[in-house]
Chain A
Amino acid sequence: MQSALSQSAAIAGLAAARAAGGTEQTAQFITFTIGAQEYGIDIMVVREIKGWAETTPIPKAPQHMRGVINLRGVIVPIFDLRARFGMGLTEASRMHVVIIVDAGTRTVGLLVDAVSDIISVEPAAVRPVPDLDLAAEDNLLQGLVPLEDRMVTLVSLDGLFRSSAALEAATAAAAAAANLAA
C-alpha cells in the first residue's frame, strides 16, 4: 500500500510537471462516466474526444477490443473500457463517447458513456486503491480522488495497454502465488 501510494503520487507529480500553466503540483484530469461510476484520465495524454461511430471488428481480438476506426487516415483501435473493467459490453450508440489517447507510441480510443468534467488534483489528494482481491486488475487503476460529493477513480493507461502477453504472465504469476499460498 505504501508503495502504491508513492507510485501514484509520483505519477501525479509527473503529470503535473507536464501540465503547462497549472500550478506546480496539481495535475489535471478529464473525468468520464461508465454507468454510475466516474473515472479520470490524465489530460496530457488525451488527444481528442469524439462521438461513437461504427467500427470495423478485428478477428480474434479480445471482447473489449471493439474494432478499428479511421481517424483521419490513421487506423485506431477502440477499446471498450466497461468491458475491460469486466462489466459487460457497452451497447454503443451515437450518444457514447470515444476518448482518443496517446498510450506510449500508440494512439488508441477508449469507449466510455460520457465525458463529464475536468478536475485539478493535488498529488496529496490521491488516495491509494484499496487492496481488493483482483490481483491482476489492480494495475488498471492509479488511485482514488475524493471530491465534495463524489469519488473519481484515476485510470492508469500503462496498466490498460500493457501487452496482453504481460497481462497473461501477471495473471499466471498471481495464480501460481495463490496456489502456493493455499
Chain B
Amino acid sequence: MTSLDDFKKTYFEECGELLDQLYAGLADIAEGRGDNETLHAVFRAVHSIKGGGGAFGFARLVSFAHAFETLLDMMRDGRIGATPEVAALLVRATDTLSDLIDAARTGQERPPGFEAELVQALQAAAGGDTPAPRHDQAPAEANEPAGTTRYCIRFAPHPDLFQRANDPLLLIRALKRLGPVAVEPDLARLPDLSAIDPEQAYLAWTIHLATASPRTAVEEVFEFAADDCDLSIALEPDADTGAAAARAESAVTGKANPAAQPTPGRTSEAAGEQPHSIRVDVEKVDRVVNLVGELVISQAALAQFGQSLPPDLCPALLNGLETLSQHLRELQESVMAIRAQPVKSVFSRMPRLVRELASQLGKEVRLVVTGEATEIDKTVIEQLADPLTHLLRNALDHGIESPELREANGKPRQGTVHLGAEQRSGRILIEIADDGQGIDRPKLLARARQRGLVAKDAVPTEEEIDNLVFAPGLSTATNVSQVSGRGVGMDVVKRNMQALGGRIIIESRSGTGSRFILSLPLTLAILDGMTVAVGQQTYIVPITNIVESLRPRRADIHSVVGRGDVLAIRGEYVPLLYLHCAFGVADAETDPCRGIIVIVEGEGRRRIGLVVDELLGQQQVVVKSLEANYDSVDGIGGATILGNGRVALILDVSGLSANDALAVASRAEPPPPPPPHVLQ
C-alpha cells in the first residue's frame, strides 16, 4: 500500500467521525439545543471534510462541501437563522455529503447531477439574504473578469510549515493547474548545510501565475497553508488588465485569510483539542489486553497458591496478593475501557436510515435515541451496525402502522421508535422498541406451519412463536418490498448476535408494540464459560450457548437406530453427543446417567446434548487463538489458560452441531454403554 493510500484511508476514517459529529450537531440544532458552539463544530466538520477532499482531488465532494459550508458560514454569522426548514436542509445535505464521500471512497461515481438539486437549494438558502457576494465564498465561476490575469504571488512559508502537513510543492502544483507558472526561489533564509534542520522550511518563492481563474481560486490553493506562511497575492505590475494598478495594493497577507479560514475562536480551540486524544493502532491495544489477561491468569495461580499457605505464615505476602488482585482488576477494567467506544458511533447512522425508510414507506416515525454514551468494545460495535439496521427496518416496516391506521386505532399519527443502550452487570443491553402493532402471532404461526417449520399439531408458546421471527426465509409481509419481507434480515440479526455471544429477547404485545432487547458481552476478549470435565480433560462451554444441564433418568435416554442416542425432555428429542467419543478422550464417563448432559443451542437453534463427566464451575476466561500457531479445528472455538497454567479448549457449539454425523460414527466404535432399562 502506498503512503497516499494510507493517507486516504485515514481521511475516510476521519470523514466517518466527522459525519457522526455533523449528524449529532445537526440533531441538536434541529431540536433547538444548538448554540453558536454547535454551529461552529458543524462548520468545522464540513470544512475539514472539504479540506482533506481537496488534497486528494475529490472535486465533486469539495464543490458540494463548499456550497454546504457557505450556508453554514452565513448561519454562523447570524445572517441566516436556524429555522426548521434550514435544519432539515442541512440534514439532507449531510446525507448527500456522506454519499459523496462513499462515492469517493469506493470510486463508484454518483450519476452526474446527483447533488445538483441540493447545491441549488443550499445556494438559494444562502443567497436569499446575502448582502453582497463575498469573493471568498463565491463559487469558482464567480465575479472576476474573464480572460487571463497575471498574478505575482509571494509565498514565504513559516519554518514550521511542514509540521502542519503542508507541502509547498503540492501548492505550486495546484497553482500550475490554474495556468502557467514561473517560480523564482528565494534562498535568502537558507542556512549552511551543517545548520540545516530538514524539518524546517527555509525557502520562499515568488510565483508568477497567468490564469483565467478568479482570484478566489488562487486564494483557495493556499487556504490551508495561509496560517503558516506569509502570503501576498498581487496583480503583476505589467498586467494587461486595466485595473492592475488599483488592485496591486490590495495584497492579501497571511493574516487576512479567506473567511472560510478559522476565526480566532476556532484556532485556539483546535489547538486545545489536540492533547485530549491520540490515535492508537487497535493491535497495540490488543497486545496490552492480552498481557493483562496473562497477568490475571498468573495472579489467579498465585492466589490459589497463597490460599494453600497457613494464614499466619506470612501475612504480608497474603496482603500483598490481595492488593495485587485489586489493582489487577482495576487495570483490566481500564484496559478494556481503552478498547471501548461509545455506541454513538453506530447509533448516529440510524436517524438517517429511519428518515429515509419512513419516507419510502409513507409512515411518520420519530426516532428517540438514548444512552449513546454507553461504551462497548470496538469489535462488538463494528458487528452491531447490521443487526441494528435490520431491526429498525423491521420495526418500521412491520411494527409501525400507516398514519391513517394509527389514527383509526386512536394512536398518534407519528409512530415512535426507541433505540437505547445501557450497561447492566457486565453486559450491554440494546433496545429497539416501537409503539406499532406488535408481532402478529397467529399469522406468523400460520406462515411457519405452511413452511413446515412448526409441526401441524404442535402448540408453541408465545415466546417460541416470537422467536420464529428469526427463522430464515419466514416473513409475514404480504408483499416483498424493497425494505423487507424476504425474511433474510432477522436471520442475519440472530446469527450476528450469536457470533458476538449475545442473546435476543423479544417482548411483544399485540396492538401496543414490540421490544427487541439485544444483550451483549462487554468484550469479545473475555468469555463467560462453564468448565466441564471429560476424563482427564477440561473444556469450556460458552455460557451463552447453554440452555440447561441435567442428569437424565435412564428412561429418558433412547437409542435411535443409525442416529445415535437421544434424550427425551419435555416431549422433545435432543440428540446426544458423547464428547469423549467426538474428541477421543480416554477414561471418561460413558454412561450419560452417571455423567451430566449439557444441552446447548448453536446456530439455527439446533439443540444437542453434550455428555460430559461433570460440571466444574463457571468462570470468565481469556479467549486465545488456536489458529495463530495451528489449524482451526471443527468444534473448537479457541483456547484459554486455566489458573493452573494448563490449556483448556473452548467449544464452538455450532461447529459441534455440524458434526453430528461424525459423533454418531465414532459413537459406534467403542462398546456402547449397556442400556439395560431403556424400555422400562
Residues on the A chain within 8 Å of B294, using CB: 72-73
Q: A: which residues have CB within 8 A of B?
A: 54-61, 65, 67-70, 72-77, 106-108, 163-164
Known contacts A77-B629, A106-B629; decide if A59 and B624 are in contact (CB<8 Å). no
Is residue B626 within 8 Å, beta carbon to beta carbon, of the partner chain?
A: yes
Q: Which residue of B lies closest to A68 (CB)?
A: B647
Q: Which residue of A lies closest to B295 (CB)?
A: A73
Bound CA span A25–B266, Å: 64
Is residue B133 within 8 Å, beta carbon to beta carbon, of the partner chain?
A: no
Known contacts A74-B629, A75-B626, A108-B629; decide if A56 and B584 are in contact (CB<8 Å). no
Is residue B290 within 8 Å, beta carbon to beta carbon, of the partner chain?
A: yes
Contact of A75 among B583, B631, B639, B645 (CB under 8 A): B639
Question: 17 A–B contact pairs at CB < 8 A?
Answer: A56-B648, A57-B537, A58-B630, A58-B633, A59-B582, A59-B584, A59-B633, A61-B633, A65-B630, A70-B645, A73-B290, A73-B294, A73-B297, A73-B624, A77-B630, A106-B628, A163-B631
Does the CB pair A59–B636 fall under 8 Å? yes
Bound CA span A17–B293, Å: 38
Is residue B596 within 8 Å, beta carbon to beta carbon, of the partner chain?
A: no
Is residue B641 within 8 Å, beta carbon to beta carbon, of the partner chain?
A: yes
Q: Which residue of A lies closest to B629 (CB)?
A: A106
Residues on the B chain within 8 Å of A77, using CB: 629-630
Bound CA span A73–B626, Å: 12
Is residue B646 within 8 Å, beta carbon to beta carbon, of the partner chain?
A: yes
Residues on the B chain within 8 Å of A72, using CB: 294
Interface centre among B583, B585, B646 (most CB of A within 10 A): B646
Is residue B634 within 8 Å, beta carbon to beta carbon, of the partner chain?
A: yes
Is residue B46 within 8 Å, beta carbon to beta carbon, of the partner chain?
A: no
Interface size counted on chain B using CB atoms at 8 A: 28
Q: Which residue of A lies closest to B298 (CB)?
A: A73
Residues on the B chain within 8 Å of A163, using CB: 631
Known contacts A56-B537, A59-B584; decide if A74 and B646 are in contact (CB<8 Å). no
The smallest beta-carbon distance between A106 and chain B, in angstroms, is 5
Q: Which residue of B lies closest to A56 (CB)?
A: B647
Does the CB pair A75–B293 fall under 8 Å? no
Does the CB pair A60–B634 fall under 8 Å? yes
- Taking CB atoms and an 8 Å cut-off, the chain B residues in 355-393 that contact chain A are none
- Taking CB atoms and an 8 Å cut-off, the chain B residues in 602-659 that contact chain A are 624-626, 628-631, 633-636, 639, 641, 645-649
Residues on the A chain within 8 Å of B625, using CB: 75
The smallest beta-carbon distance between B48 and chain A, in angstroms, is 39
The smallest beta-carbon distance between B126 and chain A, in angstroms, is 56
Residues on the A chain within 8 Å of B634, using CB: 60
Interface centre among B585, B633, B641, B647 (most CB of A within 10 A): B647
Does the CB pair B635–A59 fall under 8 Å? yes
Q: Which residue of B lies closest to A164 (CB)?
A: B631
Bound CA span A119–B206, Å: 68
Does the CB pair A69–B583 fall under 8 Å? no
Does the CB pair A56–B290 fall under 8 Å? no
Interface centre among B624, B625, B631, B633 (most CB of A within 10 A): B631
Residues on the A chain within 8 Å of B537, using CB: 56-57
Residues on the B chain within 8 Å of A55, using CB: 647
Q: Which residue of A lies closest to B291 (CB)?
A: A73
Bound CA span A70–B634, Å: 21
Residues on the A chain within 8 Å of B636, using CB: 58-59
Does the CB pair A56–B582 fall under 8 Å? no
Bound CA span A59–B290, Å: 25
Bound CA span A93–B116, Å: 78
Bound CA span A57–B537, Å: 8
Bound CA span A106–B641, Å: 19
Residues on the A chain within 8 Å of B291, using CB: 73
Residues on the B chain within 8 Å of A108, using CB: 629-630
Does the CB pair A75–B628 fall under 8 Å? yes
For the complex with contacts A56-B649, A68-B647, A76-B629, 12 further pairs of A-B residues with Cβ separation under 8 Å are: A54-B646, A56-B537, A56-B639, A56-B648, A59-B582, A60-B583, A69-B647, A70-B645, A74-B624, A75-B630, A75-B647, A164-B631
Does the CB pair A107–B629 fall under 8 Å? yes
Q: Which residue of A lies closest to B647 (CB)?
A: A56
Bound CA span A108–B294, Å: 20
Residues on the B chain within 8 Å of A75, using CB: 624-626, 628-630, 639, 647
The smallest beta-carbon distance between A38 and chain B, in angstroms, is 27
Residues on the B chain within 8 Å of A61, using CB: 633
Residues on the A chain within 8 Å of B645, using CB: 70
Residues on the A chain within 8 Å of B647, using CB: 55-56, 67-70, 75
Residues on the B chain within 8 Å of A58, using CB: 626, 630, 633, 636, 649
The smallest beta-carbon distance between B472 and chain A, in angstroms, is 29
Residues on the B chain within 8 Å of A74, using CB: 624, 628-629
Interface centre among B293, B629, B634, B646 (most CB of A within 10 A): B629
Bound CA span A68–B28, Å: 55
Residues on the A chain within 8 Å of B290, using CB: 73
Closest 5 CB pairs of A and B: A59-B583, A73-B294, A56-B647, A77-B630, A106-B629
The smallest beta-carbon distance between A91 and chain B, in angstroms, is 16
Residues on the A chain within 8 Å of B646, using CB: 54, 56, 70
Contact of A68 among B293, B585, B639 (CB under 8 A): B639
Residues on the B chain within 8 Å of A59, using CB: 582-584, 633, 635-636, 649
Residues on the B chain within 8 Å of A57, using CB: 537, 583-585
Does the CB pair A73–B293 fall under 8 Å? yes
The smallest beta-carbon distance between A70 and chain B, in angstroms, is 5
Q: Which residue of B lies closest to A103 (CB)?
A: B629
Interface centre among A57, A59, A69, A164 (most CB of B within 10 A): A59
Residues on the A chain within 8 Å of B626, using CB: 58, 68, 75
The smallest beta-carbon distance between A82 and chain B, in angstroms, is 19
Bound CA span A73–B648, Å: 12
Bound CA span A76–B641, Å: 12
Residues on the B chain within 8 Å of A69, using CB: 647
The smallest beta-carbon distance between A158 and chain B, in angstroms, is 16
Interface centre among B294, B583, B641 (most CB of A within 10 A): B641
Bound CA span A67–B585, Å: 13
Q: Mark B309-324, 1 if CB is under 8 A from A, else 0.
A: 0000000000000000
Bound CA span A107–B628, Å: 8
Bound CA span A36–B366, Å: 80
Residues on the B chain within 8 Å of A67, using CB: 647
The smallest beta-carbon distance between A139 and chain B, in angstroms, is 19
Bound CA span A55–B584, Å: 15
Q: Which residue of B lies closest to A76 (CB)?
A: B629
Residues on the B chain within 8 Å of A106, using CB: 628-630
The smallest beta-carbon distance between B484 and chain A, in angstroms, is 41
The smallest beta-carbon distance between B225 and chain A, in angstroms, is 44
Bound CA span A65–B584, Å: 14
Residues on the A chain within 8 Å of B297, using CB: 73
The smallest beta-carbon distance between A51 and chain B, in angstroms, is 14
Residues on the A chain within 8 Å of B633, using CB: 58-61
Q: Which residue of B lies closest to A55 (CB)?
A: B647
Does the CB pair A73–B629 fall under 8 Å? no
Bound CA span A107–B626, Å: 11
Interface centre among A60, A68, A107, A108 (most CB of B within 10 A): A60
Does the CB pair A68–B630 fall under 8 Å? yes
Q: Which residue of B lies closest to A109 (CB)?
A: B629
Q: Which residue of B lies closest to A165 (CB)?
A: B631
Contact of B641 among A65, A70, A107, A164 (CB under 8 A): A70
The smallest beta-carbon distance between B536 and chain A, in angstroms, is 9
Q: Which residue of A lies closest to B642 (CB)?
A: A70
Bound CA span A77–B632, Å: 12
Residues on the A chain within 8 Å of B631, using CB: 163-164
